[in-house]
Amino acid sequence: MKSAITISLVAEARGGPFVFWDDLTTGFAAAARHGFDAVEIFAPAANAVPIGLTRQLMERHSQKVAALGTGAGWLKHKLRLTDPDPAVRARAREFIYGIVNLGGYLGAPAIIGSMQGRWEGAVSREQALDWLAEELQALSERAAAHGQVLLYEPLNRYETNLFNRNADAVEFVTARGLKHVKLLCDLYHMNIEEQNPAESLRETGALIGHVHFADSNRRAIGLGHTDIGPIAAALRDSEFAGYLSAEILPLPDAETAAAQTMVSFRKLVPAT
Ligand code: LER
Ligand code: MN
């Protein structure tokens, strides 16, 4: 398993669960200084991430890009893949295509979290799930053309009513034949929704594509009450070789959150 830490370039996300902010140059340097393998970037749009500079920073600091968030499409523009308005769904898809293509250049998968939306009003659950499946199919085919998967993230009940638990999302992804979609398992959402987070990860098995490494209170692992031992054992037994990525609040401050994450990560994955 590999380590990653978040950098947000989205002013509107201030107060959200991201450790480093506003600037890729300082964010990459900080990630490297703390010993991370990779950064996860939350950008306002695909064209806000300069490919040349990002590749230079990756090279200079021996960092990979673990994943790219797409949630700014919702946060900034109120776009979502299950919106009743077909024009909004089309703009949501275009926004995400841009980030999937950026991921092609940077060797990173895109994340569908907040952009999944929710079913409500005139949109039935069945209709929303049909739209979601259709969009995940198209977007994940584009990802596959770049040699990437697409990461679908179940969120807690306060953020979506589509899928809150891994098992339900696994069933959906499997039943709809979404071969290039894997799950992003966020330990913060799982702490709210799963009866037994470690068991849930074991059941998700080979479909675990990425992990948001957050404690129960969305602080660094070790600063809340999540029992990480059984979770790490489940990930190991599932032969998960992807990223444990700190999508966490920068509390008490970014430096301490990053340092604490690395201390916790090293207990699970000793330095070689
Ligand atoms: C995104 O990764 C996520 O976890 C959501 O809660 C949106 O912040
Ligand atoms: Mn998350």
pLDDT tens across the length of the chain (272 residues): 999 999 999 999 999 999 999 999 999 999 999 999 999 999 999 999 999 999 999 999 999 999 999 999 999 999 999 999 999 999 999 999 999 999 999 999 999 999 999 999 999 999 999 999 999 999 999 999 999 999 999 999 999 999 999 999 999 999 999 999 999 999 999 999 999 999 999 999 999 999 999 999 999 999 999 999 999 999 999 999 999 999 999 999 999 999 999 999 999 999 98
Tokens of 139: 């977007």
How far, in Å, is the centroid of ligand 2 from the Cα of 58? 23
List, in sequence order, the alpha helices (H) in the chain: 24-33, 51-60, 72-77, 86-106, 125-145, 166-175, 187-193, 197-204, 228-237, 254-268
How far, in Å, is the centroid of ligand 2 from the Cα of 111? 9
211 contacts 244 by C-beta, under 8 angstroms: yes
DSSP β-bridge partners for residue 243: 2
Single pTM value for the model: 0.98
3-state secondary structure (DSSP) of residue 148: coil
Closest CA to 101 of 151, 159, 143: 143
Distance CA 64, CA 215 (A): 24
> How much is the pLDDT for 171?
98
How far, in Å, is the centroid of ligand 1 from the Cα of 159? 8
> How much is the pLDDT for 146?
98
Mutate to test the pocket of ligand 1, among 7, 157, 159 (most ligand atoms within 8 A of CB): 159
> How much is the pLDDT for 47?
98
> How much is the pLDDT for 197?
98
> How much is the pLDDT for 68?
99
> How much is the pLDDT for 272?
83
Q: Which domain holds residue 104?
A: 2-268
Total structural domains in the chain?
1
- Name every protein residue with a CB atom under 6 angstroms from any ligand 1 atom: 16, 71, 111, 113-114, 153, 155, 159, 186, 212, 247
Closest residue by Cα to atom 6, ligand 1, is 155
What is the sign, positive or negative, of the torsion defined by CA atoms of 129, 96, 2, 156?
A: negative
> How much is the pLDDT for 8?
98
CATH value at residue 150: 3.20.20.150
